[in-house]
Amino acid sequence: MNVADTQVTRIERSTIDRARKWARANLVNGTANTVLTLVSVTLAAYLIYTLTRFVFVGADWEVVDVNRRLIFLGRYPKEEQWRIWPPMWMVMGLGGLSYGMLSRGSLRDLAWLGAAVVFILAFLATTTNGLLFGGGVLVSIAAYGLGRLSIGRPLLRSKLRLVTIVGWFLVIPFAIILITGFGGVKPALWGGLLLNVLLAAIGIGVGLPLGILLALSRASSLPLLKGFATSIIEITRGGPLIAWLFIARFVLPAFIPDAFETDPIVNSMIVVSLFTGAYVAEIVRGGLQAVDRGQVEAADALGLGTFNVTVFIVLPQAIRAVIPALVSQMIALWKDTTLFAFLGFTDALSGGQAAYNQAAFKGSQIEVLVFVALLFWAVAFGMSRLSQRFERVLGIGVR
């Protein structure tokens, strides 16, 4: 007991000492740096003060509270809301499982997770949605535990890995089938953050494999294939996304025979997938070039076919090398989904804009925009963290 106590004090003292030493070395060494430190601290304190004051005193969050539905679901009909929960639980369960499997169980992770859960629960507390979400949180925590359990148990781990990968592949088709099928909600009524998530998920889910295929085709020695891929990439990348969306919405329908005519949102999803594919293709091509030519030759010498060489030797290394750039592209896509508002869909941002234009909430655009920005930031930040974790697990940047 006594020994432990002294240890704690020693650690504390050493921590404080170290902090003091660090501060002296980095913050107040010399007049110029001291002035800089003082100025930055004042500025930071002022910013934090005004922000806190705005959030807790100045802002009137009623506009967000009343318009939650509009921001999260847009014009999605209320009576069909149950369709969203099963895929949501699936995402939460898979998220917990993946996180548990990738995690090293640091307290910081739990703190982040806890903060997110508390925030969302506080937000939903008064409604049945709170209970439904709470159920999802339980599923998520259980899955996280299972994932943690698998560390050091290779058999369980390989099974769980299969479940996770298949699950992530199935979740978007499952969500779309459940939302659209069985007399469900047609795409024109998808809205709010749900629409942004679905668009981004499909853009990533289709765009990523498409991009890899395009990159491989462009790197191929077959002129026809190479030309085809190159022209798709260059044409798609040559125009701004908004122009392609415009074409998908207003021009394409005139050329597509009625029998093949799809919902405008489906057209837009095709466009966004193609667009993402083109960018991903160029990123992956960079990765392909980073793979040492000698490895291909070695594999060829061993008699592996081109397919095996590509899939098992070249691609894994190529993609590993470009994960940060790929994630960057995904985050850009996530934010680009707000462009769809231009085509007449009500996404999270345009739902929010409609909210602060309501007669009852004039002049409250700052609250709404801050809230919507926070939503987008949270997802983008989550993507970034997840990819960093993934990189660490793969050992990228370590070796």
Least distance from C-beta 120 to other proteins, angstroms? 19
The residue among 1 and 359 lying less far from other proteins, judged by its C-beta, is 359
Closest CA to 352 of 338, 335, 331: 338
Contact 91, 134 (CB under 8 A): no
Handedness of CA 94, 95, 100, 102 (dihedral sign): positive
The residue among 39 and 66 lying less far from other proteins, judged by its C-beta, is 66
Our separate counts of H helices and E strands in the chain read: 19, 0
Closest CA to 266 of 335, 333, 198, 342: 198
User: Could you list the residues that contact other proteins (CB under 8 A)?
Assistant: 66-70, 73-78, 188, 191, 217, 220-222, 224-225, 228, 246, 249-251, 253-260, 264, 300, 305-307, 310, 341-346, 350-351, 353-365
CA distance 372 to 378: 10
Least distance from C-beta 359 to other proteins, angstroms? 4
Full DSSP string of 266-321: HHHHHHHHHHHHHHHHHHHHHHHHHS-HHHHHHHHHTT--HHHIIIIIIHHHHHHH
φ/ψ bin of 326: left (φ > 0), alpha (ψ from -120 to 50), beta (otherwise): alpha
The residue among 99 and 244 lying less far from other proteins, judged by its C-beta, is 244
Least distance from C-beta 32 to other proteins, angstroms? 36
Contacts 24+ apart (CB under 8 A), 75-79: 75/189, 75/191, 75/346, 76/185, 76/189, 76/190, 76/191, 76/192, 76/194, 77/185, 77/189
The residue among 315 and 331 lying less far from other proteins, judged by its C-beta, is 315
The residue among 174 and 246 lying less far from other proteins, judged by its C-beta, is 246
Least distance from C-beta 378 to other proteins, angstroms? 22
Contact 128, 209 (CB under 8 A): no
Least distance from C-beta 306 to other proteins, angstroms? 4
Least distance from C-beta 45 to other proteins, angstroms? 25
Least distance from C-beta 5 to other proteins, angstroms? 55
The residue among 139 and 185 lying less far from other proteins, judged by its C-beta, is 185
The residue among 143 and 248 lying less far from other proteins, judged by its C-beta, is 248
| Token pair in block for residue 73 | 């679901």
How many beta carbons lie within 10 A of that of residue 343, not counting itself?
Answer: 17
Contact 204, 333 (CB under 8 A): yes
The residue among 194 and 204 lying less far from other proteins, judged by its C-beta, is 194
Least distance from C-beta 266 to other proteins, angstroms? 14
Least distance from C-beta 244 to other proteins, angstroms? 15
Least distance from C-beta 171 to other proteins, angstroms? 24
Q: Residue 347 pairs with which residues in a beta bridge?
A: 192
Q: Residue 192 pairs with which residues in a beta bridge?
A: 347
**Which residue, chain included where needed, has tokens 């501060």?**
23
Least distance from C-beta 385 to other proteins, angstroms? 32
Specify the DSSP class assigned to residue 190: -
Angle among Cα 337, 343, 345 to the nearest 5 degrees reads 70
The residue among 67 and 103 lying less far from other proteins, judged by its C-beta, is 67
Handedness of CA 340, 341, 347, 353 (dihedral sign): positive
Query: CA–CA distance from 399 to each of 321, 392, 393, 395, 396 (Å)?
Result: 12, 11, 12, 7, 7
The residue among 12 and 62 lying less far from other proteins, judged by its C-beta, is 62
3-state DSSP assignment of residue 377: helix
| Token pair in block for residue 215 | 């990159």
The residue among 91 and 341 lying less far from other proteins, judged by its C-beta, is 341
